[in-house]
Amino acid sequence: MMTPMDYILGRSRPLSSRGSVIVLRPRHPSDSAIISRPGTAKDDKKRPSSLTFSTVPNRPNLAEEEDTAIETPSARSIAITEGKDGVEIHLPDEDTHYYYLENTHIHGIHHIFEKNPTIRFIWITVLIVFAFLACYQIFNQFLMYTTTPVSTNIEAEYPVQINLPTIAICNNNQFRLTYLTGARVQNRRAKNRTLEIKGVNDSSTNVFDKALLNTWDMDAVKFLRNAAHWKSRMIMSCIYPNGTRCRITDFKAVWTLTGLCWAINADPMNPVMVTGAGPSHALKLLLNVERYERIESCTPKFRTSSLPGLKILIYNQTDIPTSALDGVNVPPGYTMDIPFRMQHRQKLAGINCVQEDEKYHKEKIEESHDARTCKIRKYLDEIERQCACSMKRAYDPNPKENLTFCTVMDYFDCVVPVLKWGYDGGFSSYQCLANCDEIDYIAWQDMNELPNNQILEDHQVNRIKREAHRAYEKQARYQEDILLRTKRLMSRMTQASEKIKSLRWGWRNEDFSGVYERLVNNTSCFGSMSSRHPDIFNSINNKAAKGEEKRAKMIVHLLNKKRFLKPESEFKTISDVKHVYETDSVNEILNQLNFIEEYIHQIYSLYDEDSYTETLTRRLERMDRILQLMGQYDDGKLQRKAWAEKMQARNMKHFFEEDFYEGWYNVITKDLDITVGKTVADLEEKLDKLKDITVNKSGLESGSLLLFGDTAQNHTRIFAEFLDEILECSFGEVRNTSIELASEFKKYMHEFQGAYTNLFKKELPEYLENFEFGPKFVKENFAVVNVFLHKMNVEHWKQTQTYTIWSLFCDVGGALGLFLGASLLTIIEIIWLFCRGFSQNKWCGGSKECEEKTNTEKDTVEVAEKLDRKEK
C-alpha cells in the first residue's frame, strides 16, 4: 500500500475521489515539531489542482497538534494539520459527476453549482433546452446524410464524330402465314407423343392446329426463327449515313422477350461513325411490313394481337434489348423520321442502380451478371424452373446447359404463359436495377405520307407480287376470318339462288313460272273466267272493223230508244248524228261508249295470257356459269385470284346490272306491278264512275251494244253478271295474290342481289386489288424509316453527393458550438471522463483496502513551493 509520502515524492499521480487529501511539505524541511494552526485555502474551480493559502498571524504552539477548520464564503471548508514533515490539508467529499462536469469546456456549466437555487434552476433549464436543440439539429443532419442528397451536373460535349447506336427492326407479327401453312410444316412427321397439347384436339382439321401437331417436338428456337419474318424479305433498302448502301449481311439476329429482331451496327469494336446531324445524315430504311403474312384467324396460339407495323429499337452496342415493345412504333403507309438525342448518365450506386465491373461484361448471357441481362437471365431461369427446359439457345448458340432445349409444345404450353405472367407484373418481382453508367437514346417521331414516286425496283416488285400472291391464297384458304366471310357470302349466294329456283322464279325456263300461271294456279276465279263467259271473251277477241260509222249507228241506236227521228242506216259519221240530235246528248253517249269500251279492254288485259311474259331469254343462263365458278372455288379446283379475275372479265363484270336485270328482274316486276297491280288500281279508280253510269242501266246497255251489237235484255243481263263477277275477282283474289307474289319475289330478289353484290362486287374486287400493287397495297405494306441524330452533341448527366461525411462533421460541430459552446473534442472529453471514473470504480472493487486507497490517493497536488512562498 502506497503512503502519502509516495505521492509527495511524485511516484504516482493523484486520483479523483469523493474526498481529497492534499499533503504539503516545505522546500527545506526542519526538525521542528508539528505545528497546527488555522488558515484559509481557496480552491480555484477552473484549476482543480491549485490551492491558495493564507495563514493566521498568531501561530499556536507547534508542539501541539490540532485540526483547524476555516470556512469563508468564497472558500471551501478544509482542515489543516501541520507536522514536522509538512502540512496535511483535508477537503470534504464532493459529487464526482459534478466534478467531471466542472472540468468540461461547456460554457455556463459552473453556474449549476451556484448556492442560489433560482440561478441554478435558470442555468439548468437553459443548458437542457440548448442541449435538446443541439441534439435535434444533429439528428436532422444525420437524417440528411442517410438520404444521400445528390446534385446532377449536365455537360454538353460537341465531338467531331459520334458513334451511331444499334438500330434494330422488329415486326409486330412473329409468325408468317406461308410458313405455317407451307409444305415443310404441313407434311412434317412428328415423333409419337404421350402428352396432349393444351387447347388442341388431335383430330382437328384446322390447318394451324395441324401445324402445331406436326411440329410439337421441334426445337422452339429453330421454329421461331423459321416462322419469323426474314430480313431479306422485310428489308428492301438500306443506306448508311455516309451514303453507302448496306448489305443484307450487316443485319444480325437479336432475340428479345417478344421475338426475333434484326439489328444493324451491332459491333461495339467497329461502330458506324456519324459526322453530322439531321435527315441528311440518317440511316435510311425501306421496309416491307408484310401485312399479307399476318395471321388473323381465331387460333389462340398463332393469332396476331398487335396492329400491323414495326418497332424500331435504338440502343448502345454494349446493351442487350429486353423487349421490342420498348421501341418506336412505325405503322405502314408512312415515311417515319426518327430523330434522337444522346444522354450519358452516370448515377451514384445505391437503391436505384447498380455499378458494374468490367469482369461482368460477358458476351454470353449465362456468363454475364450485370444489369443489362438481369431480366433476361431471370426470365430464362424462371423458364427452366417452371418448364424444366432451356431457352438459352436463343441468346447463345452453344449454351452450357444440362437441361434439354424447349420444344414447340413446351413453348406454347409453358414458356408463353411464363412470359404473360411476367408482363402482367411478374417481372417486377425480379428487382433488376438499372446500370449506373449507361447511355440513353431519347427518340420521337415525325410522320409523313409515302412518296408517290416509285420506291422499289422492278425485280423487287415482281418478287413481292409472287410472295403476296401465295400469302393471299393462303389467307383465303386458311385464315378463318377471310375463309368464314367468303364461305358465308357463298352460302348466302347459294341459298338465295336455290330459294329462287325452288319458288320457280329462276332464270332458266324450266325453273321459271310466270305471273299468269301463278294467278291461274293460286286463284279460283282467274283461270275459269274465260270459260264461264265465253261469249264476252269471244266478242272482245273479235277483230272486226270498228269504224266511225259503226260508232255513229251505236249512238243513234241508244238515242232512238228515247226519241226515234231517223233510222240508223242514214248516219255515216258522228257529225251527221250531231246535226240531227243534240250535240250534248251525242257527246254524252259517245263518252259513255268510249269509257265502257276502255274499261272492258282493261279488264280483259288483266285476264289475257298474252299480256304476260311466260318465257325468258337464254342469255340469262350465264348466271349458271357464275354459280359453277363459285362451286369450283369451293371445291378447291380454282384459285381465288383466278376466280376473281374471271368474274372481272368483260362479259361477267356488268352482266348482273345489265342483261340479268333487264331480262329477268324487270320482266317479272312488269307483270306484277304494271300488268296486274297498275291495271287493278286503274280499274278501282274508275269504279265509282262505272257505278254511276250502270245504275240506270244505260251503261249496261252501252256495254251490251259494244259486245253483242244490241241492247237486248238477255245481253244486258249477261254483261251485268260479267261485270259483277270479274270485278269481284279482280279486286279480291287477283289483287291480293299479285301483292303476295310481288312481295315474295322482291324479298328473295333483294336477298339474291345483296349476296351477289357482296361477293362479286365487293369481296372479290377488293381481293383482286391487292395484286395490282397500287396505292392500297403500298399503304398497307411499306414504310420508309429515317433514323438520325437530332444535334451533334452528347449530354453527360453526372450525379455527385451534395452532403458528405465531412459536411456532416462540420454541421455537428457547428450545432455544438452554436448551442453549447463546445466542440466534438468536448463531447469526447466528457465521455472519456465518465468512462475513466466508471472504469476506476469497476476495477478497484469493494474491499476496505481499496476504499482507503481511493480516499487517500485522490486529487493530490504538490503545492509545497506555494506554501514555502507563503511563509516567506
User: Which of these ranges, 10-14, 638-642, 849-853, has the smallest mean pLDDT?
Assistant: 10-14
**At CB < 8 A and 24+ separation, what contacts does 558-565 make?**
558/589, 558/698, 558/701, 558/702, 558/705, 558/711, 559/585, 559/586, 559/589, 561/711
Q: Which of 383, 390, 372, 395 is nearest to 421 (CA)?
A: 383
- 3-state SS class at 544: coil
How confident is the model at residue 625, as a pLDDT?
A: 92
Residue 152: strand, helix, or coil: strand
Does residue 692 contact residue 521 with C-beta atoms inside 8 Å? Answer: no
pLDDT per residue as tens digits for the range 420-449: 888 777 777 777 887 888 889 999 999 998
Dist CA 853 CA 844 (whole Å): 9
146-175 average pLDDT score: 89
Say which amino acid occupies 822.
A
Confidence of residue 32 (pLDDT cuts 50, 70, 90): very low
What residues does each domain of the chain span? 4-105+822-871
Asked if residue 570 has pLDDT above 90, the reply is: no
DSSP 15: B
Residue 308 has pLDDT above 70, yes or no: yes
Q: What pLDDT was estimated at residue 419?
A: 86
Q: Are 666 and 563 in contact (CB under 8 A)?
A: no
Residues 6+ positions from 436 with CB-CB distance below 8 Å: 346, 347, 348, 349, 353, 354, 355, 356
pLDDT at 851: 53
pLDDT confidence of 3, banded at 50, 70, 90?
A: very low
Is the predicted pLDDT of residue 49 greater than 70, yes or no?
Answer: no
794 bridge partner residues: 157, 342
Provide the b/e sequence for 297-321 (b: ≥16 CB within 10 Å).
Answer: bebebbebeeebbbbbbbbbbebbb
Interatomic CA distance for residues 766 and 760, integer angstroms: 10
Strand duo 334-346 + 437-443: pairing = antiparallel
Residue 500 has pLDDT above 60, yes or no: yes
How far apart, in whole angstroms, are the C-alpha atoms of residue 663 and residue 615?
10
Kindly state the DSSP code that residue 47 receives in the 8-state scheme. Answer: -
pLDDT at 264: 95
Virtual torsion, Cα 535, 541, 543, 544, nearest 10 deg: 10
Q: What is the pLDDT of residue 213?
A: 87
Amino acid identity at 847 = S
Residue 188 phi, psi dihedral angles, 5° rounding? -75, 145
Residue with cell 362479286: 760
Mean pLDDT (whole number) for 273-277: 92
C-alpha distances out from residue 439 to 57, 683, 757, 792, Å: 93, 93, 58, 15
**Which pLDDT score, from 0 to 100, does residue 551 have?**
80
Tell me the average pLDDT across 657-684: 90
Cell numbers representing residue 638 in the block: 380454282
pLDDT category at 855 given cuts 50, 70, 90 is low
Task: List 346's β-bridge partners, or say none.
Answer: 437, 798
Rounded to an integer, what distance in angstroms lies between the CA atom of residue 167 and that of residue 274? 14
| 728: nearest Cα among 771, 697, 683 | 683
- CB 41, CB 47: distance < 8 Å: no
Q: Tell me what the pLDDT averaged over the chain comes to.
A: 79
- Average pLDDT of the segment spanning 820-845: 70
Point out the least confidently predicted range of 43-57, 239-253, 274-288, 814-828. 43-57
| Most confident stretch, 35-44, 265-274, 431-440, 644-653 | 265-274
Using one digit for the tens of pLDDT, what is the confidence trace for 705-763?
888 888 888 888 888 889 899 999 999 999 999 999 999 999 999 999 999 999 999 98
pLDDT at 616: 87
Residue 252's pLDDT band (cuts 50, 70, 90)? very high
pLDDT tens, position by position, 769-819: 878 788 888 888 999 999 999 999 998 988 887 888 888 888 888 888 887
Separation of alpha carbons 11 and 730, rounded Å: 155
Give the pLDDT confidence score for residue 329 in this predicted structure: 93
For 163-169, what is the mean pLDDT? 94
Expressed in percent and rounded to 5, the helix, strand and coil fractions of the chain are 50, 15, 35
Phi, psi (rounded to 5 degrees) for 191: -70, 160
DSSP type of residue 760: I
Alpha carbon distance 207, 303 (integer Å): 13
Cβ neighbours of residue 315 closer than 8 Å, sequence gap 6 or more: 165, 166, 168, 321, 441
Amino acid symbol at 292 = Y
Which residue did the predictor score with more confidence, 675 or 64? 675
* Whole-number Å distance between alpha carbons of 540 and 487: 56
pLDDT at 421: 85
Per the model's pLDDT, the better-predicted residue between 132 and 546 turns out to be 132
pLDDT at residue 454, rounded to an integer:
66
> d(Cα 406, Cα 415) in Å, to the nearest integer?
8
> Sorting pLDDT into bands at 50, 70 and 90, what band is 64?
very low
Does the structure show a pLDDT above 60 at 10? no
Report the alpha-carbon distance of residue 192 to residue 72 in Å, rounded. 115
pLDDT at 251 exceeding the cut of 90: yes
Can you say whether the dihedral through the CA atoms of 278, 282, 286, 291 is positive or negative?
Answer: negative
pLDDT at residue 285 greater than cutoff 90: yes
Pick the more confident residue, 577 or 64. Answer: 577
At 377 the pLDDT is 85
| Closest to 376 (Cα-Cα) out of 364, 384, 365 | 365
| Ramachandran class of 451: left when φ > 0, alpha when ψ lies in -120 to 50, beta otherwise | beta
End-to-end, the C-alpha distance of the chain in Å comes to 35
CB contact at 8 A, 228 and 310: no
Specify the pLDDT at position 82.
57
C-alpha span between 408 and 224 (Å, rounded): 9
Which one, of 725, 738, 857, lies nearest residue 2 by Cα? 857
In whole angstroms, how large is the CA radius of gyration of the chain?
60
**Cα(353)–Cα(195) distance, rounded to whole angstroms?**
45
Residue 30: predicted pLDDT: 45
Closest CA to 49 of 85, 2, 89, 80: 89
Q: Which three cell numbers stand for residue 775?
A: 396505292
Residues present in the chain in total: 872
Long-range CB contacts for residues 827-833, cutoff 8 Å, separation at least 24 = 829/104, 829/105, 830/100, 830/104, 833/100, 833/103, 833/104
The answer to whether 262 touches 169, Cβ cutoff 8 Å, is yes
Using an 8 Å Cβ cutoff, are 301 and 199 in contact? yes
The pLDDT of residue 83: 57
Q: Which residues of 697-734 are buried (b: 16+ CB within 10 A; e: fewer)?
A: ebbbbbbbbbbbeebeeebbebbbebbeebbebbeebb
**Residue 726 Cα to chain centre, angstroms:** 74
Average of per-residue pLDDT across 830-842: 70
Query: Cell for 439?
Result: 447511355
Instruction: Count the alpha carbons within 13 Å of 10 in the hemisphere toward its beta carbon.
Output: 3
Reported as half-sphere exposure (CB side, CA atoms, 13 A), residue 319 has a value of: 21
pLDDT at 37: 47
Whether the CB-CB separation of 40 and 71 falls below 8 Å is answered with no
Model confidence band, residue 860 (pLDDT cutoffs 50, 70, 90): very low
H helices within 545-686, ranges in order? 548-560, 574-580, 583-607, 622-634, 640-647, 650-653, 666-669, 679-685
Most confident residue range from 198-202, 661-665, 837-841: 661-665
Instruction: Count the Cβ atoms, other than its own, within 10 Å of residue 805.
Output: 9
Say whether pLDDT at 16 is over 50: no
Alpha-carbon span 410 to 388, nearest angstrom: 9
- Most confident stretch, 24-38, 158-172, 530-544, 552-566: 158-172
Q: Which of 104-113, 293-302, 320-329, 440-449 has the lowest mean pLDDT?
A: 104-113
Q: How confident is the model at residue 199 (pLDDT cuts 50, 70, 90)?
A: confident
